[in-house]
Amino acid sequence: MDSLPSFPSTFLWGVSTASYQIEGAANEDGRGRSIWDTFSHAPGRTRDGDTGDVACDHYHRWPEDVALLGDLGVGAYRFSIAWPRIQPDGAGPANPKGLDFYDRLVDELVARGITPVPTLFHWDLPQTLEDAGGWLNRDTSYRFAEYAAVVADRLGDRVGRWITLNEPIVHMAQGYAFGTHAPGRELMFDALPVAHHQLLGHGLAVRALRAGGASEVMITNNCTPVLPASDSEADQTAAAIYDGFHNRLFLDPVLIGEYPPLVGPPDDAPYVHDGDREIIATPLDALGINYYNPTRVAAAPDGSPLPFEMLPIEGVPTTAFGWPVVPGGLRDLLVGLRDRYATALPPIYITESGCSTADEVTPEGRIHDTARIDYLDGHLRALHEAIGAGVDVRGYFVWSLLDNFEWAEGYHQRFGLVRVDYDTQLRTPKDSFSWLRAALRAQS
């Protein structure tokens, strides 16, 4: 395989994880219950009834995991903070042991020269807040800002870069509209206040983080290039609506201060208060983008509850999850965002990119995950093309360091550069780990 083209010398290379997917220790040191504890323990919600009770046991094994980061040679580590560890009921004074855990983690990262990039909310909402309405309740936005201030107060002397929310579209759609993720509500279009309250919480948190000394604050959105299935007007309209929900609903209000047409809250929505738009549009220092694949969209068949239908993308490889592998989609997405938002688009970090593979362990204990190497190689080349086309991209984070709890799929999808044996918690770097380490060395 040819070596990768050169990225800018200041480019930030990293890997990503999330608290509920790796930490385990669900009942330790005063951690409160999260919506994912409730959801994963409810019958039939996750594959094989898998839960994050133990996950990768990262809460106890974090020194070993940070050592893996050091061995890999990344400059940054994106992890998320479990709100229920900090405020077990989502409000009020901090749980000191929860803060201590992230404090030690940050210290160790900094000692190794690895930039910590914490995400404040990667879907594990305190259950107490959900019981009061979750993100349907405006109060959750204010609780989120308080939590942001508490964390910044403790970590802000060593952490400058922050991410407020992870993929608010996925949390709204899967968690509140379709019910396939926690909290498992099936509100369909009545889930829209969840978009507004997450965005309001984001804007308030940006202000709280800045007040706490943050130097670079971003939101991470899951974005996808939308491919209309045909030139027909019906398919084009369906594609525009899908693009509105998936991409624009959480970008337009943040970057240009307006909800997109067709999909935003109606003008008379009672949950949109005077002044909210200004808070949501508080200027950002950067934008996090998670990219996995493009989406092909057609007009919905008669009788569908949705105004669009997703179709498979033919003629491309798929991951173990069945997701289409289209590296050029990353370039097209980034160039498209630059064209759409122009000077309103801040510098971008790719905060997740990766694939699940059907790994086998050889008798020698090796994992030859060549599909992941091909995936990363292709996406990094496409990213380089986007940078060459003038898009200001400052970093790339692989999802994920470790195999982990993949939400409703439980432990069935393996996204890690490092294999985790869930019986023994043995970590085994895969071939992709060695490939990435060599690629990073060649960049420096």
Nearer to ligand FCB, 78 or 143 (CB): 78
Residue burial 280-309, b: 16+ Cβ < 10 Å; e: rest: bbbebbbbbbbbbbbbbbbbbeeeeebbbb
Least distance to ligand FCB, CB of residue 350, Å: 12
Residues of the shown chain interacting with ligand FCB in the complex, contacts defined by CB under 6 A:
18, 21, 166-167, 170, 222, 290, 352, 399, 406-407, 415
Nearer to ligand FCB, 146 or 409 (CB): 409
User: What's the N-to-C CA distance of the chain in angstroms?
Assistant: 19
Report the alpha-carbon distance of residue 217 to residue 160 in Å, rounded.
8
Least distance to ligand FCB, CB of residue 10, Å: 25
Report the alpha-carbon distance of residue 148 to residue 142 in Å, rounded.
10
Q: Per the residue annotation, which of 108, 352, 385, 406 is the catalytic one?
A: 352
Nearer to ligand FCB, 46 or 137 (CB): 46
Report the alpha-carbon distance of residue 186 to residue 256 in Å, rounded.
30
Cα–Cα nearest to 96, from 162, 159, 30 = 30
Least distance to ligand FCB, CB of residue 203, Å: 21
Give the other-Cβ count within 10 Å of 278's Cβ: 10
Nearer to ligand FCB, 120 or 298 (CB): 120
**What are phi and psi for residue 193, nearest 5 degrees?**
-60, -25
Least distance to ligand FCB, CB of residue 351, Å: 9
DSSP 135: G
Least distance to ligand FCB, CB of residue 400, Å: 7
Least distance to ligand FCB, CB of residue 213, Å: 27
Structure token digits, residue 129: 């807040």
DSSP 250: T
Bridge-based pairing state of the strands 226-228 and 295-299: parallel
**What are phi and psi for residue 359, nearest 5 degrees?**
-75, 145
Nearer to ligand FCB, 140 or 293 (CB): 293
CA distances from 68 to 63, 121, 418 (A): 9, 24, 9
Report the alpha-carbon distance of residue 336 to residue 329 in Å, rounded.
10
Report the alpha-carbon distance of residue 115 to residue 323 in Å, rounded.
31
Report the alpha-carbon distance of residue 200 to residue 145 in Å, rounded.
9
Q: Per the residue annotation, which of 108, 167, 385, 406 is the catalytic one?
A: 167
Least distance to ligand FCB, CB of residue 168, Å: 11
Report the alpha-carbon distance of residue 429 to residue 173 in Å, rounded.
34
| 352: annotated active-site residue | yes
Which residue in the block uniquely carries the two structure tokens 């997740």? Answer: 352
Q: Give the DSSP per-residue string, 36-56.
A: HHHHHHSTTSSGGG--SSSTT
Nearer to ligand FCB, 7 or 405 (CB): 405
Nearer to ligand FCB, 22 or 299 (CB): 22
| Residues assigned a catalytic role | 167, 352
